[in-house]
Structure 1
Amino acid sequence: MHYRELKVWQKALEVAKEVYRLAPRLPREETYGMRSQITRAAASIPANIAEGWTRESNREKAQFLAIAQGSLAETETFLTLCEEIGWFPRAETERLRSLLTEVGKMLTILRRNFRKNH
């Protein structure tokens, strides 16, 4: 199966697209600060899923899924900060929050399965 067929990769790509949709709301002076940080973290989620999926061993796959999960936590932290500062209205972030939760659960299950089959 190609990684593009994975539901978790597809959902992670949606996370990245949502972050890019919200990013223009950030102040111009944050172009190289928060905007760069949150978009890199969000794009790293599907990128690490894809890279892990192409690895030979289950151990390597699990390692890249763990990195993706770390990027997800980073994205969620930046999102929370942006909400609390008032840059992202909470009403605008509900879909992103839902996707982050869903992808997080999917990554946890996949990582468990790869560790078991190690």
Structure 2
Amino acid sequence: MAIKKFEDVIVWQKAQEFAVAIYSEFTNCKDYGFRDQITRAVVSISNNIAEGFERGTNADFKRFLYFAVSSNSEVRSMLYLAEKLSYLGIPQSLILIEKSNEISKMLYGLIKSITKP
């Protein structure tokens, strides 16, 4: 059965949960530039999945999934920096980095599933 709406895409759901986790973690961060950048990037993950899905073609969907991969990579890079800047402790950064890696694997799996052989 084909997925009818982007809300049913599991990686979109995971990306939304990831965004909530990032927002929760950085809500009190006084480095406003850092906080703005990481929250914009994390929101971009699920938004690109949704936008690509609604385009209606596999080619467009695939292109937007790659945008989501890029945004996810940006968030993960910033998580490493957050740890180095002591904005996050090591245990929390590892948890969030693992969530990012899981989303990345799911995105690549979805890209592979819609790519014609």
Q: Which residue of 2 aligns with 1:9?
A: 12
**Which structure carries more relative contact order (alpha carbon 8 Å, separation 6+)?**
1
Aligned to 1:111: 111
Indicate the residue corresponding to 1:44 in structure 2. Answer: 44
CA distance in 2, matches of 1:59, 1:103: 20
1:52/1:61 contact within 8 Å kept: yes
Check conservation: 2:19, 2:39, Cα contact below 8 A. yes
Task: Report the RMSD for the aligned CA atoms in angstroms.
Answer: 1.3
Whole-Å Cα distance in 2 between the matches of residues 8 and 67 of structure 1?
Answer: 14
Q: Give the count of matched residue pairs.
A: 114
Instruction: Give, in whole Å, the separation in 1 of the partners of 2:21 and 2:71.
Output: 15
Which ranges of 4 or more aligned residues in structure 1 deviate by more than 3 Å? none
Q: 1:44-63 maps to which residues of 2 (within 5 A)?
A: 44-63=44-63
Indicate if the aligned counterparts of 2:80 and 2:93 stay in contact, CA closer than 8 A: no
| Equivalent residues in 2 for 1:10-25, closer than 5 Å | 10-25=13-28
Q: Provide structure 2 residue ranges, at least 5 long, that are not aligned to the other structure.
A: none
1:34-73, CA deviations, whole angstroms, 9 ceiling, x for partnerless residues?
0000000000000000111111211100000000000000
TM-score (norm 1): 0.90
Q: For residue 2 of structure 1, report the CA deviation from its aligned partner.
A: 1.2
Determine what percentage of the aligned residue pairs are the same residue.
34
Contact 1:25 1:88 in 2 (8 A): no
Matches within 5 A, 1:88-107: 88-107=88-107
TM-score (normalised: structure 2)? 0.90
Amino acid at match of 2:103: V
